[in-house]
Chain A
Amino acid sequence: MHPLRGVAAIVGTCDTEVGIVPDKGPTELCSQAIRGALDDAGLTLADVDGLITCNSMADPYMYHAEMMAEYLQIFPGYTLSLGAGGGATFAALHHAASAIATGMADTVVVAMAECLRTGLTRDQAMAMQSSSGHPQFERPYGPTVPAFYGLVARAYMDAYGATSEHFAAVAVSARDHACRHPFAQMREPITIEDVLASRMIADPLHLLDCSLVSDGGCAVVLTSAERARDLRQSPVYLLGAGEGHSHEHISATHNLVTSAAADSGRRAYEMAGVGPGDIDVAGIYDCFTPVVLIELEDLGFCGKGEAGDFVTQGGLALDGALPTNTHGGLLSHSHTGNPGSMFALTECVAQLRHSAGDRQVADAQTALVHAQGGILSSHCTVILGRENT
């Protein structure tokens, strides 16, 4: 048995309001999420001895976790400020579980917030777009983030005969779920035709193939399995975690259509002692629709090239083979940048607590969350369960 399997549990979660939140900055949203997650756990700030955060672009600090500790006036024995884009969220869980297992900390909060929608000036937003990419060998060519993913999308279409309709089905599924979430940013139903008729952002990606631009914050509290049993919420155990890192710059990738999700997934499954067939509900990083297809395949839910049909046939629906992004995902719930995938995590925790209301997947026992940062660069997969035996 892997020494980290089941030793830590998520005992508290909190999503702040998301979408357009002009009256709060990222630091306050992060603080609000931390205090909310502790309330949910029945713990207080005094219980926190470990803090992991991710920096904010709208309100950056040199030492971000220390800044948040200062803001909250807590004095932890362990902090870490992560920066690996969307993949940082679940890597943070991996670190938190390690810290708990090795005695570096007893109760670790993982918290992130960002105001991409209202916290950046237009110049800052454009600078952020143009700052991605290698400074000498990519950025001079004028790439945008959607165009980087357009390269992936086109290669995937060419390799497997995937179509724009396959991509659109991912967006429609996400929107169906968001329509059941009271706080999702986009709650009007859409159709495949709506996606195809939306304007091109980076051919072959339409506007509705792209995720949102949002404000919001999110936090989770982890503690030891032993302590978790005495707390208010039914614990959600971290059974497996794995990372995979293949490149920083998309021009340096060795494969545009198979990602390091294959590595992170294999490591997480091995640690958890489960396989794709054991997963009842999933959170799959959906910054752009084709990414979901590639990740579904690389995580073993479909054969290569088969995810388009899987999604078109309702595979991601609440009653489908793999209910996925039941909160609406980055495509329809919110995309706050680095913290974006945290909301998929808190949704999967709600699913495993059986408290997801209208979105509940019947008798969900085991969940998988996967996130990636950069341009299919930095991957982390986490497997969660109601039991740690």
Chain B
Amino acid sequence: MSTHEGKNLPRPTPETQAYWDAAKDHRLLIQQCSDCDTHQFYPRPHCTQCGGMNMDWVEANGSATLVSYSVINRPVSKAYADDDSAILALVRLVEGPQMMTNIVDCGLADLAIGDALTVVFEDWTDEISMPKFKRTR
């Protein structure tokens, strides 16, 4: 895992610990409100749709579509000079929420907004695995 040295590691908070624990097991957890059924990301104890405080953790299907993307031609540091950090993207999960990620295993010329994507996980440390996305074949 030394190739991920120097990356900006996320520091889980009490509100997000479950998300990062699941990512370690290569599962993408999002929240769903048990009052109004709305899915949300990023995690917080209240529902941003109905204001309820009954959020459940549910495993996302892992499918998403590409909302937009940009190539980081000048990486922020050497730790991000690898190909799998080069494409910054916003994706929309089939459940509804939007998230930021990198698109991996893919050159710029192959990408188009609306592309179907699937989650994959990159193991950075014993504690942190990062959800990333690749094009669905």
Contacts and interface: CB of A to CB of B under 8 A. Distances in A.
Interface of A: 126, 129-130, 133-144, 146-155, 158, 199-205, 249-252, 256
Contact of A139 (B8, B41, B42, B70): B8
B113 interface: yes
Interface in B41-96: 41-42, 67-77, 79-80, 85, 88-90
Contacts of B101: 141
A135 B11 CA distance: 8
B8 A202 contact: no
A205 B72 CA distance: 10
A256 B9 CA distance: 27
B88 A147 contact: yes
B130 interface: yes
A142 B8 contact: yes
A137 B70 contact: no
A177 B41 CA distance: 44
Contact of B72 (A135, A144, A199, A256): A144
A202 to B, nearest CB: 5
A204 B70 CA distance: 7
Contacts of A138: 100
A280 B73 CA distance: 39
Contacts of A140: 7-10, 130
Contacts of B88: 141-143, 147-148, 150-151, 202
Contacts of B22: none
A152 B16 CA distance: 27
Contacts of A144: 72, 74-76
Contacts of B79: 142
Counting chain B CB atoms within 10 Å of each CB, the highest count among A138, A142, A151 belongs to A142
Contacts of A202: 70-74, 88
26 contacts: A126-B76, A134-B42, A135-B8, A135-B11, A136-B10, A136-B42, A140-B9, A142-B72, A142-B85, A144-B74, A144-B76, A146-B70, A147-B88, A150-B88, A151-B69, A151-B70, A151-B89, A152-B68, A154-B68, A154-B70, A202-B72, A203-B71, A203-B73, A250-B100, A251-B100, A252-B42
A251 B108 CA distance: 20
Contacts of B85: 141-142
A250 B8 CA distance: 18
Given A126-B77, A136-B10, 10 more contacts: A130-B8, A135-B11, A137-B100, A142-B80, A142-B88, A150-B70, A154-B69, A155-B67, A202-B72, A204-B70
A146 B88 CA distance: 11
A172 to B, nearest CB: 22
Interface string B1-26: 00000011111110010000000000
Contacts of A150: 69-71, 88
Counting chain A CB atoms within 10 Å of each CB, the highest count among B90, B100, B102 belongs to B100
Contacts of B10: 135-137, 139-140
A251 B71 contact: no
B98 interface: yes
A121 to B, nearest CB: 14
Contacts of A154: 68-70, 113
A28 B74 CA distance: 33
A366 B99 CA distance: 41
A249 B100 CA distance: 10
Contacts of B69: 150-151, 154
Nearest to A142: B80
Contacts of B102: 141-142
Given A137-B100, A203-B108, A142 B75 contact: yes
Contacts of B72: 142-144, 147, 202
A217 B12 CA distance: 39
B76 to A, nearest CB: 5
Nearest to B85: A142
Nearest to A153: B70
Contact of A136 (B16, B67, B113): B16
